[in-house]
C-alpha cells in the first residue's frame, strides 16, 4: 500500500527531475561556463561574463523587448479573435459544440511546418491573397517577410491555445446568472461586461499565458514569415547557438528568457487573484463602510480580503 | 376587481390564451389567468405541469407561441426581460459570485442609472428588510444558504417591481428555516403591497401562504381559487387529490338531485349532496369522517366497515377502514381527548359518518 503510493508519486517526480530540473541545471551550468574551441564548445566554471554580456549588451535587451512586444500584440490578437469564437461555441446548441470545437482544433491535424508553408504560398507576391487584392484593384502588396506576415502566422498558430481554455471557462458559466442580470434590467452588453467577462477572467489568463509564453521564444514563424529586421530573442538564441557556436552566451540568453517568462505568468496570476474581486463592481454598495464592524468577515480563515479595503 | 381576505384589489397581470410550444411538446396550452395587484398568488403543480414555464414566460425568458401577457394593461410579449417591470427570484438564487452582497443587491438599481448615494441607501434599506444589515461587503460564498436566499430576495425586491416572481424560493432550505421563511415572505408581500407569484410543488406551502392558488396540470390551470375554496370545493378529482388526502367514491347522483348512491355498497350506501343527476364521484376529506366503535343504524352519510390498519402521528391518528365492497376509506381523528379514540383496534367493526356539508360532489 505504502509502496504503491510511493511508486505513483515517484512517476511525476522522476519526470520533473529528469526533464525539467536536469535541463535547467545543465543550461545554468553552461551559462556560467567559458566558451572555447572544441567539442563541447565550453569549459565548465563559474564565470559571470556571459550573463553580464547578455544583461548589458543592447542587442539582447532589444531582442527581448521586441519579443515581448510581438508576443503582447499576438496575444491580444488571439484574445480578440478567440474570445468571440469561444463564446460562440459555448453558446451554440449542445449537438453542435463538439463539431465546432473540433473545427477550431482541426489545424493540429496537419504538420506545423506545412501550415506555415501554406501561409507562405498565400502571402507571397504572386500568392492567392495578392491575386485577390490585384483583382479588386488594391494590390499587389508586399505581405510576405514582413511583420504583418509574422503576426498573421503567430496568431493563426496559437489561436486554438486561446480558444480552448476560454471555451472551458465559458461553457461552465451558469446561464442563470445571465438571466438574472437581464431580469434585473441589464442590457445585453452590460450583461457581458458585468457578468460574462469578469467570470471568464481565469480562462482569459490561462489562454493569454498559453499564447504569450511560447510566443516570446518563438523562432520558426519569425524565421519563415517575418522580415530580416525582426531580431527576436528566439532568433538571437538560435544565432548564438548554431551560427556563432557560442553555447555559454546562448545558455545565458536562455536563462534570462526563462526568468522573464516565470515573472510574466506570476504577474498575470497575481492580477487575476486580485482581479475583478478587488474592484468594487457596479455599485457603491460594494464600498460599504466598515465602521460598524459587521462588514468584517466573521470567519477570517475562509474569507478572502474584503474588497476596497487595501 | 376581486376581494381577497377583505382587501379589494385591482387586476395587475392579465394572461390570455397563452401557449408555449417546445418543439412538438406543448408546455402551456391556451392558458388564462388574472393576478391582482398586491396579492400572493401561488402556482402549484407537479413537475412538468408547466408552472415554471409560465413563470419564465412572464419574466420574458420564454417566447410565447401564442397569447398575450399584459401588465397594467400593457402587453409585455414583445419586451425583452430587461425591459419588463418584473423581477425574478431564482430557485438557485443566481447570486453573482464575483460581486459582494452590496453589489448584488444594487445591481438592478445600477442598471437604472441611480446615483451611488441612492443605491447605497436603497441597498441598506433592502438588507434591513431581509434582516441582513451590514453584510454589504460579504461574498455570496461566505454566506449560509438561508442568508443567500435572503440576499436573492433583497436583490429582486430592490428595483421595486410591480410583480415579483419567485421560483421555488424555499426548496433549497431546510425544514425549520422553510416555515420561518414562509411567514417572512407573507409579511413582505403585505408590507410592500407588491404582487408575488410563487411557484411551488408543495401543496402545504401553497395552502399556507397563498391569497389564491392556481393548480396547474399539463400546461393548463386545473382550478384557481382561494386555498379554502380549492380545499373545500375542488372541481375535479385531480384537484381534490392534489390538495390533501381525499376519499373518492364513484356513484350516481339520484334523479332527485339531492342524494348520491354508492351502488357497490347496496341500498344503505347513500350520501346527501346537491347536484345535477348523473354519474360522478363523492369525495370526503379523511379529517371530516368520524369513526364510531359502535354499529349504528344505516342512514345517509353513514357507512360501516372493518378497521384494517392505523397509524399514529402524535396529535392525530389515521385509520384505514375497509367497506363491504372492499374500498379502503381513510379517517383521521384528532387525539384531543387523550387516547380514547386510540382504543379502536384493527379488525374492529366501525361506523364511518360525516356531516352533509363534508360531501364534495365531483363530476370528473
Quick check: B10 pLDDT over 90? Answer: no
Q: What is the pLDDT of residue A300?
A: 36
Lowest mean pLDDT segment, chosen from B129-138, B227-236, B294-303: B294-303
Q: What is the pLDDT of residue A88?
A: 96
Taking CA atoms, B179 is separated from B75, B127, B184, B245, in Å, by 36, 20, 9, 21
The pLDDT tens digits for B295-335 are: 888 888 889 899 999 888 888 889 999 998 888 999 998 88
Average pLDDT, integer, range B160-184: 91
Is residue B264 within 8 Å of B312, Cβ to Cβ? no
Residue B164 vs residue A6, higher pLDDT: B164
Say how many CA atoms lie within 13 Å of B175 toward its Cβ. 1
The pLDDT tens digits for A284-302 are: 333 333 333 333 333 333 3
Interchain contact, B92 vs A194, CB within 8 Å: no
Q: What is the pLDDT of residue B257?
A: 82
Choose among B32, B34, B30: nearest CA to B19: B30
Quick check: B233 pLDDT over 60? Answer: yes
Report the alpha-carbon angle B184-B189-B195, nearest 5. 145
- Measured over the CA atoms of residue A231, residue A234, residue A240 and residue A241, the dihedral's sign is negative
Contact of B111 with chain A, judged by CB distance below 8 Å, is answered with: yes
Interchain contact, B137 vs A292, CB within 8 Å: no
Residue numbers of B between 196 and 255 with CB closer than 8 Å to A: none
Q: What is the pLDDT of residue A276?
A: 53
* Spatial CB neighbours of A156, under 8 Å, sequence gap ≥ 6: A107, A115, A119
Interchain contact, A282 vs B103, CB within 8 Å: yes
Quick check: B269 pLDDT over 90? Answer: no
Tracing cell 481565469 back to the chain, one arrives at A202
Confidence of residue A200 (pLDDT cuts 50, 70, 90): very high
Give the span between the Cα atoms of B359 and B271, in whole angstroms: 7
Q: Which cell goes with B283?
A: 369525495
Confidence of residue B64 (pLDDT cuts 50, 70, 90): very high
Q: What percent of chain A has pLDDT over 70?
A: 87
Quick check: A275 pLDDT over 70? Answer: no
The pLDDT tens digits for B110-120 are: 999 999 999 99
Interchain contact, B111 vs A190, CB within 8 Å: yes
Give the span between the Cα atoms of B39 and A43, in whole angstroms: 89
Choose among B85, B92, B13: nearest CA to B54: B13
Which residue from A184, A277, A297 is facing B159, i.e. has the nearest CB?
A: A184
Chain A residues inside the 8 Å CB shell of B119: 283-285
Which residue from B94, B109, B139 is facing A180, i.e. has the nearest CB?
A: B94
Quick check: A278 pLDDT over 50? Answer: no
Give the span between the Cα atoms of A159 and A83, in whole angstroms: 10
Q: Pairing relation of β-strands B220-225 and B270-272?
A: unpaired
Quick check: B258 pLDDT over 90? Answer: no
Interchain contact, A286 vs B136, CB within 8 Å: yes
Chain A residues inside the 8 Å CB shell of B61: 179, 183
Interchain contact, B61 vs A199, CB within 8 Å: no
Is residue B264 within 8 Å of B257, Cβ to Cβ? no
Q: Per CB distance under 8 Å, which residues of A are interface residues toward B?
A: 174, 176-177, 179-188, 190, 194-195, 198-199, 276-277, 280-288, 290, 292, 294-295, 297, 299, 302-304, 306-309
Interchain contact, B134 vs A294, CB within 8 Å: yes
Top residue of A185, A194, A287 to mutate, by most chain B CBs within 10 Å, is: A185
Q: What is the pLDDT of residue B9?
A: 67
Average pLDDT, integer, range B248-277: 83
Lowest mean pLDDT segment, chosen from A112-116, A252-256, B293-297: B293-297
Confidence of residue A188 (pLDDT cuts 50, 70, 90): very high
Residue B132 Cα, gap to closest chain A Cα (Å):
10
Q: Write a three-state SS string for chain B.
A: CEEECCEEECEEEEEEEEEEEECCEEEEEEEEEEEECCCEEEEEECCCCCHHHHHHHHHCCCCCCEEEEEECCEECCCCCHHHCCEEEECCCCCCCCCCCHHHHHHHHHHHCCCCHHHHHHHHHHHHHHCCCCCCCCCCHHHCCHHHHHHHHHHHHHCCCCCEEEEECCCCCCCHHHHHHHHHHHHHHHHHHCCEEEEEECCHHHHHHHCCEEEEEECCEEEEEECHHHHHHCCCCHHHHHHCCCCEEEEEEECCCCCEEECHHHHHHCEEECCCCCEEEEEEECHHHCEEECCCCCCCCCEEEEEEEEEEECCCEEEEEEEECCCCEEEEEEECCCCCCHHHCCCCCEEEEECCHHHCEEECC
Choose among A21, A16, A28, A35: nearest CA to A241: A35
Q: What is the pLDDT of residue A301?
A: 36
Quick check: B3 pLDDT over 70? Answer: no
Q: What is the pLDDT of residue B6?
A: 53
Which residue from B80, B103, B142 is facing A280, i.e. has the nearest CB?
A: B103
Quick check: B1 pLDDT over 60? Answer: no
Chain A residues inside the 8 Å CB shell of B105: 285
* Spatial CB neighbours of B261, under 8 Å, sequence gap ≥ 6: B251, B252, B254, B269, B270
Quick check: B91 pLDDT over 90? Answer: yes
DSSP chain A: -HHHHHHHHHHHHHHHIIIIIHHHHHHHHHHTSEE-SSSSSEE-S---HHHHHHHH-HHHHHHHHHHHHHHHHHHHHHHHHHHHHHHHHHHS-HHHHHHHHHHHHGGGGS-HHHHHHHHHHHHSTTSHHHHHHHHTTS-----TTSHHHHHHHHHHHHHHHHHHHHHHHHHTS-HHHHHHHHHTT--HHHHIIIIIHHHTHHHHHHHHHHHHHHHHT--HHHHHHS-TT---HHHHHHIIIIIS--HHHHHHHHHHHHHHHHHHHHHHHHHHHHHHHHS--SSGGGG---TTSTTS-S-TTTPPPPTT--
Q: What is the pLDDT of residue B176?
A: 86
Residue B129 Cα, gap to closest chain A Cα (Å):
16
Q: Pairing relation of β-strands B316-323 and B302-312?
A: antiparallel
Phi and psi torsions of A50, nearest 5°: -65, -45
Lowest mean pLDDT segment, chosen from A221-225, B6-10, B194-198, B284-288: B6-10
Residue A15 Cα, gap to closest chain B Cα (Å):
37
Q: Which residues are bridge partners to B224 per DSSP? A: B214
Residue numbers of B between 144 and 163 with CB closer than 8 Å to A: 155-156, 159
Contact of B79 with chain A, judged by CB distance below 8 Å, is answered with: no
Give the span between the Cα atoms of B136 and B103, in whole angstroms: 8
Q: What percent of chain A has pLDDT over 90?
A: 51
Residue B111 Cα, gap to closest chain A Cα (Å):
6
Give the span between the Cα atoms of B274 and B256, in whole angstroms: 9
Which residue from A176, A182, A299 is facing B82, i.e. has the nearest CB?
A: A182
Give the span between the Cα atoms of B352 and B129, in whole angstroms: 50
Q: What is the mean pLDDT of chain A?
A: 84
Confidence of residue A199 (pLDDT cuts 50, 70, 90): very high
Interchain contact, B116 vs A283, CB within 8 Å: yes
Q: What is the pLDDT of residue A283?
A: 38
Average pLDDT, integer, range B271-276: 82
Confidence of residue B8 (pLDDT cuts 50, 70, 90): low
Residue A309 vs residue A31, higher pLDDT: A31
Top residue of B111, B126, B161 to mutate, by most chain A CBs within 10 Å, is: B111
Amino acid at each position: 500500500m505504502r509502496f504503491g503510493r510511493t511508486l505513483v508519486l515517484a512517476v511525476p517526480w522522476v519526470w520533473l527531475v529528469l526533464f525539467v530540473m536536469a535541463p535547467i541545471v545543465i543550461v545554468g551550468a553552461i551559462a556560467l561556463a567559458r566558451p572555447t574551441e572544441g567539442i563541447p564548445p565550453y569549459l565548465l566554471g563559474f564565470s559571470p561574463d556571459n550573463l553580464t554580456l547578455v544583461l548589458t549588451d543592447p542587442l539582447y535587451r532589444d531582442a527581448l523587448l521586441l519579443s515581448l512586444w510581438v508576443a503582447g500584440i499576438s496575444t491580444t490578437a488571439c484574445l480578440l479573435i478567440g474570445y468571440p469564437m469561444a463564446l460562440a461555441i459555448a453558446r451554440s446548441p449542445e449537438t453542435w459544440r463538439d463539431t465546432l470545437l473540433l473545427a477550431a482544433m482541426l489545424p493540429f491535424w496537419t504538420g506545423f511546418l506545412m501550415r506555415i508553408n501554406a501561409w507562405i504560398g498565400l502571402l507571397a507576391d504572386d500568392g492567392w491573397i495578392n491575386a485577390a487584392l490585384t483583382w479588386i484593384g488594391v494590390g499587389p502588396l508586399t505581405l510576405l517577410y514582413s511583420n504583418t506576415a509574422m503576426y498573421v502566422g503567430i496568431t493563426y498558430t496559437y489561436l486554438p491555445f486561446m480558444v480552448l481554455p476560454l471555451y472551458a471557462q465559458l461553457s461552465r458559466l451558469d446561464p442563470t446568472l445571465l438571466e438574472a442580470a437581464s431580469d434585473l434590467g441589464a442590457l445585453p452588453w452590460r450583461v457581458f461586461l458585468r457578468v460574462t467577462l469578469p467570470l471568464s477572467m481565469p480562462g482569459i489568463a490561462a489562454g493569454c499565458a498559453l499564447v504569450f509564453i511560447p510566443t516570446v521564444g518563438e523562432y520558426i514563424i519569425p524565421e519563415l514569415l517575418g522580415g530580416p529586421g525582426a531580431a527576436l530573442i528566439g532568433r538571437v538564441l538560435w544565432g548564438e547557438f548554431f551560427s556563432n557556436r557560442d553555447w555559454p552566451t546562448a545558455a545565458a540568453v536562455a536563462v534570462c528568457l526563462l526568468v522573464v517568462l516565470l515573472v510574466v505568468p506570476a504577474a498575470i496570476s497575481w492580477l487575476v487573484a486580485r482581479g475583478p474581486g478587488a474592484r468594487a463592481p457596479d455599485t457603491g454598495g460594494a464600498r460599504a463602510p466598515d465602521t460598524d464592524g459587521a462588514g468584517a468577515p466573521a470567519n477570517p480563515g475562509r474569507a478572502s480580503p474584503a474588497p476596497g479595503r487595501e | 376587481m376581486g376581494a381577497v381576505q377583505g382587501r379589494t384589489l385591482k387586476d395587475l397581470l392579465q394572461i390570455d390564451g397563452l401557449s408555449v410550444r417546445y418543439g412538438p411538446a406543448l408546455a402551456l396550452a391556451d392558458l388564462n389567468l388574472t393576478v391582482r395587484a398586491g396579492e400572493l398568488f401561488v402556482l402549484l403543480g407537479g413537475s412538468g405541469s408547466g408552472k415554471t414555464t409560465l413563470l419564465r414566460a412572464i419574466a420574458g425568458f420564454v417566447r410565447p407561441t401564442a397569447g398575450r401577457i399584459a401588465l397594467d394593461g400593457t402587453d409585455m410579449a414583445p419586451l425583452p426581460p430587461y425591459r419588463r417591470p418584473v423581477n425574478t427570484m431564482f430557485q438557485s438564487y443566481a447570486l453573482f459570485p464575483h460581486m459582494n452582497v452590496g453589489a448584488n443587491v444594487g445591481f438592478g438599481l445600477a442598471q437604472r442609472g441611480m446615483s451611488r448615494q441612492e443605491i447605497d441607501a436603497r441597498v441598506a434599506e433592502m438588507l434591513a428588510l431581509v434582516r441582513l444589515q451590514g453584510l454589504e461587503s460579504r461574498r455570496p460564498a461566505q454566506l449560509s444558504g438561508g442568508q443567500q436566499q435572503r440576499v436573492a430576495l433583497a436583490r429582486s425586491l430592490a428595483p421595486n417591481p410591480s410583480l415579483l416572481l419567485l421560483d421555488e424560493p424555499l426548496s433549497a432550505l431546510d425544514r425549520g428555516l422553510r416555515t420561518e421563511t414562509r411567514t417572512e415572505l407573507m409579511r413582505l408581500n403585505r408590507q410592500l403591497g407588491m404582487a408575488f407569484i410563487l411557484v411551488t410543488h408543495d401543496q402545504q406551502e401553497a395552502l399556507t401562504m397563498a391569497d389564491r392558488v392556481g393548480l396547474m396540470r399539463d400546461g393548463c390551470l386545473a382550478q384557481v381559487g382561494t386555498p379554502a375554496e380549492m380545499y373545500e370545493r375542488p372541481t375535479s378529482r385531480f384537484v381534490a387529490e392534489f390538495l390533501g388526502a381525499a376519499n373518492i367514491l364513484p356513484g350516481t347522483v339520484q334523479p332527485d338531485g339531492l342524494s348520491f348512491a354508492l351502488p357497490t355498497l347496496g341500498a344503505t350506501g347513500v350520501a346527501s349532496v346537491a347536484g345535477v343527476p348523473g354519474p360522478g364521484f363523492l369525495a370526503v376529506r379523511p379529517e371530516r369522517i368520524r369513526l364510531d366503535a359502535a354499529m349504528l343504524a344505516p342512514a345517509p352519510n353513514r357507512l360501516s366497515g372493518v378497521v384494517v390498519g392505523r397509524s399514529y402521528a402524535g396529535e392525530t391518528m389515521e385509520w384505514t377502514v375497509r367497506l363491504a365492497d372492499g374500498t379502503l376509506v381513510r379517517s383521521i381523528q384528532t387525539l384531543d381527548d387523550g387516547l380514547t379514540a386510540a382504543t379502536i383496534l384493527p379488525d374492529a367493526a366501525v361506523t364511518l359518518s360525516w356531516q352533509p356539508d363534508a360531501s364534495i360532489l365531483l363530476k370528473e
